[in-house]
Amino acid sequence: MSARILVVDDLAPNRHLLEVKLAAEYYDVLTASSGREALEIAAEEKLDLVLMDAMMPGMNGFETCERIKSNPETWHIPVVMVTALEETKDRIRGLEAGADDFITKPIDDFNLMARVRSLLRLKMVTDQLLSHTGHSLANSRPLIEEIDRRRGEILLVEDHERRAEKILKQIGTAHGVTVESDPKAAVERLQGGFDLAIISMVSSEFDALRLCASLRGSHKSRELPILVVGDPEDEERFVRAYDLGVNDTIIRPIETQELMARVNTQLRRKFYADSLRENFNENLEMVVTDPLTGLGNRRYFDNTVQPLFDSLNSKKEPFSIMVFDIDHFKRVNDILGHDMGDQILKEIAARLASNMRAIDIVARYGGEEFMVAMPNTTEAKAMKAGDRIRSLIGGTPVYVDGQALSITTSAGIAQVRPGEKLRDVFKRADDALYKAKLGGRNMVMSADTKKAA
């Protein structure tokens, strides 16, 4: 389904004109002739954007926008104020009401579609972020507002000192702005550390479109938001800029409120996308990481060890599996308590991880049981490595809350055979561990019952 846009205007010809323009771009268009009707539709329909006439009889666009933004179910919908008003105080009033952007009558098709596309992209990433919070729309709002308050770092690429000073004055108090006049230096600086690039298209000293193409051609700046500044007669170049992947454009002379709206839209989209990636990485880490010890968990081990089975079958590269277990751990928990037991688990995990090779795969498989996969390792070599770790742990006290505790471990080891699956080799290693426990603990046993300690 295409994006749903609500057009709000008390004049039928204006509504019809916008409806035709938007429908030609395959948007699903709803219309309202008053502020109150707009609120009713917003409450009932799933909307992606509202185009709102500022001056309407009864409830005007400012008040309607304010109500949309204060409603727990509709506050996240972008609103564009459509107005013939030129005075700064009216634009400020729109921003205070919660408007995300402005379009001035008579409406220019290019500017209209630029605003619509930009804010629909913002709405899309907003919806994605909201869906990942796991909360209701109302409960998610504080998270979004916290992100919105972030101070962006902007690189302004402009070689005209006066034009640069004007933009600095307009947005420099809200965000950090660095000016760069050299396009080559700009490309290097924009490979990291900035949240937005504002590029002048009116410079006679460098080709802004070539600069934009360079940024989009680099994987480090491919996702960086780009806002291009140009003159009214630059529409053809603006179109080319969008083809190159520019996110938004603004036409000189630049109104402060309009510039702030465009800058904030791009920064919000960038920050929301960053939060999504952080959330994804955090969730991914939670899926494969044991939260107590920081080691990989069972899922991590099962997925990571699979390439070793493939190498064994294709390249005949041997590898071994070690099942490692803390002796009498249930008694430790019963006597000392689970908090003390958790501290012991963390210490044993740290010793195990720090004393294995970088290529070894170490995971907490469950409870007090750890698994280690050792690439390019025969059972005999794995036995030596396992016994070295067992001796190190048993020979050095574990200090928990000032108490020196003597902790021993046992291990079972099996070299993987061609054609075996993980469950097969795990069973052989686990059987060897069981024999180590029966044999008195604090020892390493192999699957062929040879005793190492």
Q: Which phi and psi (to 5°) does residue 207 adopt?
A: -95, 105
- CB contact at 8 A, 229 and 254: yes
Q: Which residues pair with 196 in a beta bridge?
A: 154
Measured CA to CA, the distance from residue 164 to residue 172 in angstroms comes to: 11
The number of beta carbons lying within 10 Å of the beta carbon of residue 431 is 16
Determine contact, residues 363/375, Cβ cutoff 8 Å: no
Cα dist from 384 to 215, 322, 348, whole Å: 53, 11, 18
Are the C-beta atoms of 288 and 303 separated by less than 8 Å? yes
- 235 an active-site residue? no
Long-range contacts of 204-211 (CB under 8 A, 24+ apart): 205/159, 205/181, 206/157, 206/159, 207/183, 208/157, 208/237, 208/241, 209/237, 209/240, 209/241, 209/244, 210/183, 211/157, 211/183, 211/186, 211/187
Q: What is the DSSP string of 23-61?
A: HTTT-EEEEESSHHHHHHHHHHS--SEEEEES--SSS-H
SS3 368: coil
How far, in Å, CA of 268 to CA of 369, rounded? 45
User: Which one of the listed residues 19, 368, 379, 420 is annotated catalytic?
Assistant: 368
Active site residues: 368
